[in-house]
Chain A
C-alpha cells in the first residue's frame, strides 16, 4: 500500500535509510454469517489491504429453502402461502405478481374493489418495509434514535395490515381472482363479514396524515446529521449502466438516476389512476439510496390517500372454479416491490400444480453487485453500502 506521509516524517525516514514503501500483507477478513449489519445470514469473505477492500466473495445460501422445488408439489393456492416467506418484511407485496401472473394465464377479470384493496395494502407494505430501512440504516451508522421513531410508526402500519389480513408479516390474503373475505366470519356470516373491517379506511387515512410528519421527523433526525452525511455522501457509487447490467432494481436503481418504476410501466394494479412522483437520485451513492426511500414513503402515503378516496364498491372475488386449474401456457409478471423488481415466471401444463415456477426476487440481483461495488472501498464503507442496498436474506436465498 502506498501512502503519502507528511514531509517531515518522510524526511526522517529517508535520513534513517528506511524504505518509505510500507510492506503490508493482504489479510482475509470473514464477516458473518452472524453479523448484525448483514441483516441475516450473509457471509462476506473480504480480502483487505489495511482498511481497503481488495476483493469480496459473498457466501449466500444459509437460508435457501428451495421454494422453486416446493412449488412443484403444491397446488396454485398453496403457493401463495409459500411466497409470503420470501421477503418477509413486505410479505403482502410478494403475493401480488404471482396473483397477477395466474390471473393472466386464467384470463380472470379481477373486481375493481379487490384491485384497490391490493393496491392499498401493497403500499402499506412498502411503507412498512421502508420504515424498517429508516430504523436500521441510521442505526448501523451510529444513530440510535431514528430506530425508535421509525419502528413505532411501522407498528401502526402493521396493525392496519393485521386488522385486514389477520397477519402482521405473512398475510396470505390474496386469492386467485381477488382477495380473501376479511377475517372474522364463518360461512354463515359470509355476507356481512367479507368486506374490509369497519373503520379501516378512516384509520388508514389518519395514519397516512401522520406519515408526512414522521418523514419530517426522520429528516430532522437523520438528514442533517453531519456524521451520517460524511458516511453516505459519495460513498459506494453505483453508476446506472452497472446497476442495469447487474439487474439492480427498485430504489437502488432509481438512486442511480434511472427513473424506472414498474408501477408506471406495468398494469398489474391500477396505479395509472393516481398521481404520484418517482423520486430519482443523482449520484447513486448511499445518500441517494436513503433519500429515495424517504421520499417513497411520502409518495406511498399520497397514493393510499387517493386510493381510499375513490375505492370502488363491489365484490372482492371473481368467480373461480373450486379446483383451480391454470390453462397451459407460460408468462412472466413482475411488480414493483419495496425492494425492487419481483416477478414470477410461471409454466403451467393445464393442471393444478405449476410445472415450473421461477421466482425472480429483487434482493438476489441487488446483492449480486456486491463483489463489484465493494472493490476498493474502506471497511467501514462496507457497512454503509450493505445497509443502503436494503436487502432481506429471505429474498436473496428464496
Chain B
C-alpha cells in the first residue's frame, strides 16, 4: 500500500485491533465493576450528609449530586462536618448533543452544564466530587467564594469558559482571556477555528503504521505481536 487507505478500511482495521485487545482487558464494557466498596461507602456517607440520594463511586471517584439551590450550603457542610477542608478545583462539563469539536456522545443526554467541585481531606485520602446541574438557558449558580477563597479564580475561569454566572462573586471578570473576547471557548458549540480551516491530521495516525511503507519491518512487528499474544 503506498497511499493512505480509504476511511472504511481505516475504521475496519481499527475495530479489529480493538477486539483483539479487548480479550486481555477484562471488563472494559462494565464501568461499575471497579467501584471500590470503601469509596462507595464514603460517597454514601457524604450523600446522606447533604441529603442527596444521587451518588456514584465508579473508578474510585466518589461523586455526589446536589441540587443547585443548596449548592453553597452542601459544600459548606461537607467542609465543616465531613472535614474535607482542602479545595482542589471547581470546573464544569458541557453536556451537549450537538458538538462542534470532538466526537458527539453516543447516546443522548439532557442538555446542561454540570458544575463540579472537588474537596479532599488532608488527613487521609477521603475526597469527594460534588456536582450540580445548571440549565443552559439561564446558567447561573451561587458563588462558593465565601466558603473557599480558592473558588475565586476557579469560578472566574468557569465563567469565561462556559458562560456560567456565579452570583455573589466579588470580581467576575475575565481571567485568562482578553477583556474583549466574545464567546465561551469550552462550550461544545464553540468551534476550534484552526481545525475548521484544516482538519487535525494526527487523528488518523494510529492506522498509518510503518508496516505500510516497509513490509519487512511490518512482518517482524506482526511476528512480535503474535508471540506476545501466546
Contact = CB atoms under 8 A, between A and B. Distances in A.
Contacts of B186: 68-69
Contact of B221 (A75, A187, A320): A187
Contacts of A61: 174-178
Contacts of B189: none
B59 A104 contact: yes
B220 A356 contact: no
Interface in A365-396: 365, 368-369, 372
Interface in A318-359: 319-323, 325, 327-334, 341, 343, 345, 347, 349-356, 358
B220 A187 contact: yes
Contacts of B152: 368
Contacts of B42: none
A106 interface: yes
Nearest to A72: B102
A105 interface: yes
B103 to A, nearest CB: 5
Interface string B187-215: 00010100100001011001000100000
B56 to A, nearest CB: 9
B91 to A, nearest CB: 5
Interface residues of A, number: 70
Contacts of A199: none
B22 A321 contact: yes
Interface stretch (B28-36, B47-55, B65-73, B132-140): B28-36
A345 B34 CA distance: 17
Given A73-B102, A265-B124, A368-B153, A60 B175 contact: yes
A74 B153 contact: no
B210 A75 contact: no
A260 B121 CA distance: 9
Contact of A60 (B116, B123, B125, B176): B176
Contacts of B105: 349, 355
Interface residues of B, number: 69
Given A321-B18, A345-B116, A104 B60 contact: yes
A216 interface: no
A73 B129 contact: no
B93 A352 contact: no
Contacts of A265: 124-125
B165 interface: no
A391 to B, nearest CB: 13
A366 to B, nearest CB: 10
Nearest to A330: B61
Interface in B48-98: 58-61, 63, 85-89, 91, 93-94
Contact of B150 (A245, A320, A331, A347): A245
B20 interface: yes
B59 A347 contact: no
Contact of A355 (B28, B102, B123): B102
A20 interface: no
Given A107-B26, A364-B153, A332 B118 contact: yes
Contact of B27 (A70, A107, A248, A364): A107
Nearest to B211: A187
**Interface-centre pick from A66, A70, A73, A397 (highest chain B CB count, 10 A):** A73
Going nearest first, the 9 A-B pairs with the smallest beta carbon separation are A321-B21, A61-B176, A331-B59, A322-B17, A246-B150, A260-B122, A247-B150, A64-B176, A72-B102
22 contacts: A60-B175, A60-B176, A69-B190, A73-B203, A107-B25, A107-B26, A187-B210, A190-B220, A190-B224, A241-B85, A244-B87, A249-B86, A260-B123, A319-B229, A321-B17, A327-B31, A328-B106, A331-B60, A345-B91, A355-B103, A358-B91, A365-B150
Interface of B: 14, 17-18, 20-22, 24-29, 31, 33-34, 58-61, 63, 85-89, 91, 93-94, 101-103, 105-106, 116, 118, 122-125, 127, 129, 148-150, 152-154, 161, 174-178, 185-186, 190, 192, 195, 200, 202-203, 206, 210, 217, 220-221, 224, 228-229
Given A74-B200, A107-B28, A345-B129, 7 more contacts: A61-B178, A72-B192, A75-B206, A187-B220, A245-B85, A329-B31, A356-B94
